Chain A
């Protein structure tokens, strides 16, 4: 299974419920708002996308199906910006 985790090279700061990111090899900063910030906090330790969706769903008391698409989009965006990375190996 492939898991996701924060890229070690990303600097971050929590500001209220938001998180500010300084991704590597970029001059820009990212601002993650509440749910995205929670996802980022959770990725301090590696999780699969499914695990991330389930944990966030439990946290916000919604069904996983309700947030799945948004979380997948967020993950793609964070991967694209180098804020998170894939770890582990695919089973197959």
Chain B
């Protein structure tokens, strides 16, 4: 247990490597041989190998020659994966252009080529592209034409455009594309205006092509959403993204506050900034103080709790989504899709294990209720 905790501390140190505002010891940490295989697997699993390599180069992490070689091999694998995805991205950019579909490059690749000192610091496991809702179907068709069909059908026809966040596309290769129409599933995704994000972009040059990514302020907004709402507890890499943009991005903090107020994201941003500071053991730039002290409405706090508390595993996000959907008819449509989705959707959810059944589907909310009753 002590080893595990010490490894956790090392992972956090690696995730904070090179950031200003760090408190505490910065002596090089060496890794005992018996701990190394697990630590390496955890570094790779959390996609922190790029920062670990940089930490070794700076003498901040002390590894043996063999350990360094294994770290580099692991990083090489992740970088080959990133290059394969970016190669596909360039092909898709051309295809989307021909189809007249604008897209914004989100997360991994966009962060790697903008706010980090070197793209190798920021591995990523998929491509995240955001399109306008009106272009959604056409974008799905483009991906299918390029051997990237949807992995999971939507619960009912039209569900994605009304309530969905993204569809996951992948083929036989190792490239996976998340096609977004908003930034997050649930109330926060419904409250923000995805169309407005297309006005908050800047060019990004990659492989001789000019793509679009979110500007640094919107990039931080999205990084905060991903850090707070993506996993519970927040993962180290998304927290590092928050710190990286906060320190090195050209963030307009007052615009960030305005966007947060307009899209009810104050609680999310505050939570992400606090989690970043606590987990990485750093003090964030002074300008972030205004966002840390933002007034948050009860409704926002309640919606955030559905992601960051035990409610998450008890249907919290589905219930808060239902609350956030405006109008009775739309709420009923959402409920209907959740409770009686198409058979094709049910079948895909079983992943080949068992029969598609409504009884099984309905047992999920019953289990949530039982958990809540305990």
Check if B75 sits within 8 Å of A11, measured CB to CB. Answer: no
Cα A25 to Cα B80 in complex, Å, equals 16
B72 touches A20 (CB 8 A): no
A26-82, CB < 8 A from B: 29
Contact between chains at A11 and B79 (CB < 8 Å): no
Q: Are B208 and A8 in contact (CB under 8 A)?
A: yes
Task: State whether B79 touches A15 (Cβ < 8 A).
Answer: yes
Least distance between A69 CB and chain B CB atoms (Å): 29
A29 to B75, CA, bound (A): 15
Q: Which residues of B contact A24 (CB under 8 A)?
A: 207-208
- Structural contact, A20 and B53, CB atoms closer than 8 A: no
Residues of A within 8 Å of B305, CB to CB, are: none
Query: Of B15-23, B83-91, B181-189, B293-301, which binds chain A?
Result: B83-91
Task: Tell whether, in the assembled complex, residue B206 and residue A15 are in contact, meaning their CB atoms are under 8 Å apart.
Answer: no
Q: What sequence of 0s and 1s flags, for each residue 104-123 of chain B, a beta carbon within 8 Å of any chain A beta carbon?
A: 00000000000000111000
Bound complex: CA A16 to CA B206 (Å): 22
Asked if A14 is at the interface (CB within 8 A of a chain B CB), the reply is: yes
Number of interface residues of A (CB under 8 A): 15
Centre residue among B79, B118, B206, B208 by max chain A CB count within 10 A: B79
Which residue of chain B is the closest to A20 with respect to CB atoms?
B79
Which residues from A are CB-within-8-Å of B79? Answer: 13, 15, 20
Q: Which residue of A lies closest to B205 (CB)?
A: A8
Whether A20 contacts B83 in the complex (CB less than 8 A), given A13-B119, A14-B120, A15-B76, comes out as yes
Instruction: Please indicate the chain A residues that have their CB under 8 angstroms from the CB of B84 in the complex.
Output: 22
Chain B residue at smallest Cβ distance from A21: B83
| Residues of chain A contacted by B68 (CB below 8 angstroms) | 16
Task: Choose from A7, A9, A15 the contact partner of B72 (Cβ within 8 Å).
Answer: A15
Across-interface contacts of B304 in A (CB, < 8 A): none
Q: Which of A9, A15, A24 neighbours the largest number of chain B CB atoms within 10 Å of its CB?
A: A15
* Nearest Cβ on chain A to B64's Cβ, whole angstroms: 15
Q: Are A13 and B207 in contact (CB under 8 A)?
A: no
Identify which of B53, B57, B80, B206 contacts A29 (C-beta below 8 A).
B80
Contact B87 A11 (CB under 8 A): yes
Within 8 Å of chain A (Cβ to Cβ): is B346? no
Residues on the A chain within 8 Å of B76, using CB: 15, 18, 20
The residue that A15 contacts in the complex, of B75, B86, B87, B208, with Cβ under 8 A, is B75
The reply to whether the CB of A10 lies closer than 8 angstroms to some CB of chain B is: yes
A29 touches B83 (CB 8 A): yes
Which residues of the partner chain A approach B80 to less than 8 Å between Cβ atoms? 20, 29
Q: Does B82 contact A (CB under 8 A)?
A: yes
Whether A11 lies near B72 (C-beta < 8 A) is no
Q: Looking at the complex, which one of B57, B90, B120, B206 makes contact with A13 (CB distance below 8 Å)? A: B120
Cross-chain contact A22 with B86 (CB below 8 angstroms): yes
What chain A residues lie within 8 Å of B119 (beta carbons)? 13
Chain B positions 109-164 with a Cβ under 8 Å from a chain A Cβ = 118-120
B79 nearest CB neighbor, chain A only: A13
- In the bound complex, do residue A22 and residue B83 qualify as a contact, i.e. CB atoms below 8 Å apart? yes
Q: Determine how close the nearest CB of chain A comes to the CB of B37; give it in whole angstroms.
A: 20
Contacts of B206 in A (CB 8 A): 11
Asked if residues A16 and B72 are in contact (CB atoms below 8 Å), the reply is yes
Cβ distance B69 to chain A, nearest Cβ, rounded Å:
9
Query: Is there contact, CB below 8 Å, between B120 and A11?
Result: no
Residues of B within 8 A of A13 (CB): 79, 82-83, 119-120
Instruction: Determine the distance from Cα of A11 to Cα of B80 in the docked complex, in whole angstroms.
Output: 10
- Contacts of A10 on B, CB cut-off 8 Å? 207
Nearest-neighbour CB distance to chain B for A20, whole angstroms, equals 5
Of A9, A13, A18, A29, most buried by chain B (CB within 10 Å of CB) is A13
Binding site for B on A (CB under 8 A): 7-16, 18, 20, 22, 24, 29
Identify 12 new A-B residue pairs, CB closer than 8 A, beyond the known A9-B207, A20-B76, A20-B80: A8-B207, A9-B208, A11-B207, A13-B119, A14-B120, A15-B53, A15-B72, A15-B75, A20-B79, A20-B83, A22-B84, A29-B83
Q: Sample 21 A-B pairs with CB under 8 A, ordered by A number.
A: A7-B208, A8-B207, A9-B208, A11-B83, A11-B86, A11-B87, A11-B206, A13-B83, A13-B120, A14-B120, A15-B72, A16-B57, A16-B68, A16-B72, A18-B76, A20-B83, A22-B83, A22-B84, A22-B86, A22-B87, A24-B208
Task: Report, nearest first, the 5 A-B pairs whose CB atoms are least far apart.
Answer: A8-B208, A13-B79, A9-B208, A22-B83, A16-B72
